[in-house]
Amino acid sequence: MATLSSLVDRVRLELGDLGKSFVTQFMADGTTNRFQLHYAPIEAPSLQVLANNVDISNNCSIEESTGVLVTDTVPADGVVLLVSGTYYRYFTTAELEYFVTAALEQHSARKTDSLGRKIIAETLPSIEEYPVALYASTLALYTLATDASFDINVFAPDGVTIPRSERYRQLMEMIDSRREQYRDLCVQLGIGMYQIEVFNLRRISKRTNRYVPVYVPQEVDDRSHPQRVDLPIPTYGSVPTPWPTDGGDLTAYQGIAYEGTVTFSGDFTGKSFIARLLNQRGSVVVVQEFTLTVTDDGNDNYEAAISLTADQTRRIARRTYWQVASVDDVTDEIIEIKGGNFLTDRISEVVL
């Protein structure tokens, strides 16, 4: 299983930006608490500062990108500061984490896991770790190329020329090579931004002008509830807004009893509560009713305990929609309080 830090380590290996240890010494003059190290960028967690052999690391801070050490107080004149730690050649860890996060989001933008959740570092398939690190190193090289683009050739009076723009050209050639390498891996493995995908065209009913729903195909002997495909609908120029009752995703496992809690607040005088699984948000098709217990602390703060039996989770589709709603005791009006995707990790595709 990949992590953000393990992907950063792989990017450093691709860039040749491995950490190196250093030790440097300063003599305080009693006038300043800022000391310029001879190394940058610095890994802050590795830094150790000794003042006359007394550890003052917790009383110091470091500007990682510039290598400037700042002590909380001004050391007295004659105090010897011994500084040790790890430095890199190009990037700080925070900068590489930015590149890795951007590369991961772009690489997996159109892909989800088996439950329809967004791909993150912990759920990234192991075979895709190297392509993501490769693409992140390409993004990092773009930053180095931008810095090199400001250099100009130096012409000396004696006819000696220093072609500083050569560094920019070399970086751009390396970027092209890395991009082509990433593209080849994506095409051959069927992953990432160059993945070949197959789509189903949406049909619109001529009679009602409504989309015809699309469902995930099932085996002939699969008797579980059909799963509706969550296809994005064009906005036609409208601006999407966040849904006010979004309560996040809940995950259950096929054939295992589910228990969870949902908290909410408000004035629900004259109302009761229901919890259920719907085919999708806003649907009138009820897939399953939860067993619901609601407790009130007396200050309009509620905690709803919802549960399903093992038999009830056996026939649920991979993705449905959970909803906790209030019901008016007089008009029977149902108003959603909290809701979100209900993901069921299924061990069997065939349910008899």
pLDDT tens profile 293-339: 999 988 889 999 999 999 999 888 888 999 999 999 999 999 999 99
Q: What is the mean pLDDT of the chain?
A: 89
Provide the CATH number for the domain formed by 207-352 in this structure: 2.60.40.10
Residue ranges of domains in the chain: 19-87, 93-194, 207-352
**pTM, entire model:** 0.72
Report CA-CA distances (Å) from 235 to 207, 230, 240, 241, 280.
22, 15, 7, 11, 19
If you average pLDDT over residues 43-56, what whole number do you get?
A: 90
Would the pLDDT of 350 be above 70?
no
Place of tokens 């020329």: 161
Closest-CA residue to 22 (of 62, 71, 74): 62
Residues 6+ apart with CB under 8 A from 174: 141
